[in-house]
Amino acid sequence: MRHAHADAGRRGGGAVSATIGVVGELLITAGVVLGLFVVWQLWWTDVQAERIHSQVLAELDWPEPPVEVPSGSSVEGPAVAGEHRDEPPAVDDAAFAEVFAQFYVPRFGADYVEPIAEGIDKAEVLDRLGIGHYPDSAGPGELGNFAVAGHRTTYGRPFHRIAELQEGDAIVVRTENTWYVYRMSSSQIVWPNQVEVVSPVPGVRPGEPLPELTERFLTMTACHPMYSAAQRYIVHAELDYWAPVDEGIPAELLDAGVQIQAVADDDAGVR
Amino acid sequence: MMYGLLWRALPGPAWFRALLLLALFVAAVWVCFEWVFPWFSEYVPINDNTVEAHAP
């Protein structure tokens, strides 16, 4: 009698400990999976996106800015583009997810260049191609607001250093044949629903009457604070000048030591 | 328990089972990185960077 009772007790204890064992293993598995998710989000998305970014930049195969021999020097160097302040050439509307421009910011480093694609779809554009252009906003150089979004962390983080931008900093957009040099004018931190930051005149809310467009703005939106989506970090800039690519490279990029295709591929000419 | 069962279900000597488990683990990580995590991240908006009228 006593013996049977002890047996039943042991059997019951066995079932309980088996359940605890399985639950424990499930919890350990969940912990490992969550850890892997963090690794994927913070590291692998950068690896993948950076690979895609350099690939799409290489595939653009755009004309190279010309080189010249500056006076007082015997070394061939890239030509400096003139500063044009008349009506810039219009840019055709790009198809969704088409890479139609490049983004240069000397403040972000001499080797900083990122593709700009059409649309702000997260999976197709922002997570893959980098910087996305708000489809309803103006094109580069156009009257109104050329608005772009980019990740500040993960997925190649094109806007990682957005908060370092200072007033007057050059923000340069290149299309196939044209440079658009903007100057940083202001930054602000807003809620995600404050769409007035990307309005043709920043600050004019939807439904409010738009004044006549006289300025050519650029607006960058990124998440804020870092690793959060609670708010948005916004940078506004205004067009300073434009220049044709076949004239050369904007002085702002040359002074910062930014390497443009032409310079990088220069030894091809020597060969 | 589950992993013990898996260990016993695998054929071959111990070193071979360890190798198989490693391969299974790598395959599981790959499936997670390629499909599971990208899908899951759509529902964890920790990275949104756009301004939208319908955003919270």
Residue of B nearest to A24 (CA): B1
Residue A216: the pLDDT is 96
- For the record, the structure tokens of A93 come out as 């509307």
The answer to whether A132 faces chain B, any CB pair under 8 Å, is yes
pLDDT per position as a tens digit, A6-18: 444 455 678 898 8
Q: Find chain B residues with C-beta within 8 A of A126's C-beta.
A: 49-50
Residue of A nearest to B41 (CA): A41
Any domain includes A7: no
If you compute the radius of gyration of chain B from its CA atoms, what whole number of angstroms results?
Answer: 19
Kindly determine whether residue A193 and residue B52, on different chains, have CB atoms separated by under 8 Å. Answer: yes
Any domain includes A10: no
Q: What's the CA angle centered on A237, arms A173 and A157, to 5 degrees?
A: 60
Residue A227's pLDDT band, with cuts at 50, 70 and 90, is confident
Q: Find chain A residues with C-beta within 8 A of B54's C-beta.
A: 193
Any domain includes A128: yes
Q: Find chain B residues with C-beta within 8 A of A160's C-beta.
A: none
CATH value at residue A102: 2.40.260.10
pLDDT per position as a tens digit, B1-56: 788 888 899 888 999 999 999 999 999 999 999 999 999 888 877 767 777 654 33
Domain housing A169: 58-270
Any domain includes A221: yes
pLDDT per position as a tens digit, A44-54: 999 999 999 99
3-state secondary structure of A57: helix
Any domain includes A166: yes
pTM: 0.84
Question: Catalytic amino acids of A?
Answer: 151, 223, 232
Report A:82-121 residues touching B (Cβ under 8 A): 120
Any domain includes A210: yes
Mutate to test the interface with B, among A29, A41, A114 (most CBs of B within 10 A): A41
Any domain includes A171: yes
Q: Find chain B residues with C-beta within 8 A of A163's C-beta.
A: none
- For the record, the structure tokens of A138 come out as 């103006």
Torsion angle, CA of A196/A226/A121/A146, rounded to 10 degrees?
40
Domains identified in chain A, total number: 1
**A119 near A135, Cβ under 8 Å?**
yes
Identify which has the larger pLDDT, B48 or A123: A123
Any domain includes A22: no
Phi-psi region of A43 (alpha: psi -120 to 50; beta: other; left: phi over 0): alpha
Nearest residue to A159 (alpha-carbon basis) of A250, A224, A242: A224
